[in-house]
Amino acid sequence: MTRILFVCTGNICRSPTAEGVFRAKLRDLNMSHSLDSAATHSYHIGEHPDPRACNVARKRGYPIDDLIVRQIHRGDFDAFDLILAMDSGHERILRRLADDHQQDRIHMYLSKTPHGNMDVPDPYYGSIRDFEHMLDLIEEGANSWLDHLSSQ
């Protein structure tokens, strides 16, 4: 069982959405992995995901309302096999926090898609369309990562 952590700035939009999408897709595929999400910053610790992210995700069958924001900590680098950064800024922070032997666990979320190392844009200051675009990219990334993981 692969242990996967999704990371974004506040753990209120992108990373909890990715966790919810993966959780639903794993259930549909009858696969089991341990999933969690975390923030690089402490802005929203203890809160639930952004209501706009919850609404967009729920409309596509990914309930994330019950998730609780937490911040990444050093123990996560040993606790998870795969740490997926939503953008290059998160990847830099994660690489700075991780020890040398933990670097190979860190990847960009879209790295297995044709988008390569493109960022998943932060929709926080945007419109509902931005949240929907975020979810489109997260679904694409989830499909690519699950294909990759199932082939190993």
Which amino acid is present at 129? R
Sheet containing 82-85: which strands, arranged edge to edge? 34-39, 3-8, 82-85, 106-108
Identified catalytic residue from 8, 13, 54, 76: 8
- Catalytic annotation on 14? yes
Q: What three-state secondary structure class fits 107?
A: strand
Catalytic status, residue 8: yes
Write down the catalytic residue from 14, 50, 54, 76: 14
Closest CA to 67 of 120, 16, 130: 16
Clarify whether 54 is annotated catalytic. Answer: no
Q: Choosing from 23, 60, 81, 122, which is the catalytic residue? A: 122
- CA dist list (Å): 95 to 53, 60, 121, 131, 146: 27, 33, 20, 27, 23
Question: If you search the block for the tokens 């096999």, which residue do you land on?
Answer: 81
Residue with token string 């919810």 = 20
- The set of catalytic residues is 8, 14, 122
